[in-house]
Amino acid sequence: MTPAAVLCGIGSCLPARRVGNDELAGVLDTSDEWIRSRTGIGGRHWADPDTATSDLAVGAGRRALASCAPEDRPGVDAVVVATTTPDRSCPATAPLVAARLGLGPVAAYDVAAVCTGFVYALASASGLIAAGIAERVLVIGADTFSSILDPADRTTSVIFGDGAGAVVLRAGHPDEPGALGAFDLGSDGDGYDLITVRGGGSEQHLSAAAPEPGRAYFTMDGKAVFRHAVERMSRSSRTVLDRAGWELSGLDWMVGHQANRRILDRLADDLGVPRERSVGNIAEVGNTSAASIPLALDDARGAGLLKPGDRVLLTAFGGGLTWGSATLTWPGPDRFVS
């Protein structure tokens, strides 16, 4: 039997500083009313300048490891960090996170798929487990988008927040609660420019001769992205449910990428999933990119929403363009100690 990846630990970490809509309305031409009604966001957390993505990733990873039941606690064999805002463009952030968590000489690498990153990282980790390369993998989605936002751009500054979420996966049985089931992953590079940071890579060097700091900022064509997000997550959700042999009507929870409450509502309506079954925390944390799904999952667990054996659909969309979905049954009650 090919082993399945089974969720056995979860944790999250937010920077302390909360930035409310009114604070942004004090410096940008926007309002609490506009932000709430167009996005569903009431506030977000932003890291202070000396907090890096690895700091948030280590916080989430430590909590996820501590949440594992004693029998699931022996060390992990690999660390996968999904991020668009690594501490440095070279090397990857994951080896630093593994070292700071005291995990020893484990495999450690980053995955770059913007807001879809966590689902891609889950798929990658599941592959390591299915192939027998790893028994336990720590998967972290972590982003510090505040470090790449243009402070003068009201269309992006109001949306994004910082944070990290992590899960521990172990090798197990496909039929046991906690098992990840089917995956669907995709991309469309024709939409490469819709969500981007143009400068700082090999295409447009940021050099002393051409400093232009604006080129290092994140930009997004919100309207086009909105339409793609609903279409792609809807199609990917149907595909993954089909692969898992699950009916939409048998779904207990949908955890979609927390990009915009209106996108999540539109997606739920399109799939015929009751909106109250689409869980999330966008009102409190905004769009935290790769951290969004594990943060929302951890919040739903903290709120006691997820019951053992519940059928959960994860679906995400982001820059690339990329999208991805996965099915998960929620683990048994004895799996987490904290």
Q: What residues line the site for ligand UT7 (CB under 6 A)?
A: 30, 34, 38-39, 115, 154-155, 158-159, 195, 222-223, 225-226, 229, 259-260, 263, 287, 317-318
Query: Which position's Cβ is nearest ligand UT7?
Result: 222
54 or 116: whose CB is closer to ligand UT7?
Answer: 116
Point out the catalytic residue in the list 115, 228, 260, 281: 115
Query: Does residue 70 contact residue 337 with C-beta atoms inside 8 Å?
Result: yes
Verify cis geometry, omega within 30 degrees of 0, for the bond prior to 248: no
Give the count of beta carbons closer than 10 Å to the beta carbon of residue 337.
12
Residue 4's alpha-carbon distances to 126, 134, 277, in angstroms, are 7, 11, 26
Query: Does residue 80 contact residue 290 with C-beta atoms inside 8 Å?
Result: no
- Closest distance between ligand UT7 and the C-beta of residue 54, in Å? 21
Q: State which amino acid sits at residue 5.
A: A
155 or 204: whose CB is closer to ligand UT7?
Answer: 155
Structure letter (DSSP) for residue 78: E
Point out the catalytic residue in the list 45, 257, 260, 281: 257
- Closest distance between ligand UT7 and the C-beta of residue 38, in Å? 5
Name the residue with tokens 């290092």. 216
**What's the distance, CA 191 to chain centroid?**
20
- Closest distance between ligand UT7 and the C-beta of residue 271, in Å? 17
- Closest distance between ligand UT7 and the C-beta of residue 81, in Å? 18
Name the residue with tokens 């898992």. 244
Catalytic, 287? Answer yes
18 or 36: whose CB is closer to ligand UT7?
Answer: 36
Catalytic, 257? Answer yes
53 or 287: whose CB is closer to ligand UT7?
Answer: 287
First to last CA, the chain: 31
Annotated active-site positions, please? 115, 257, 287
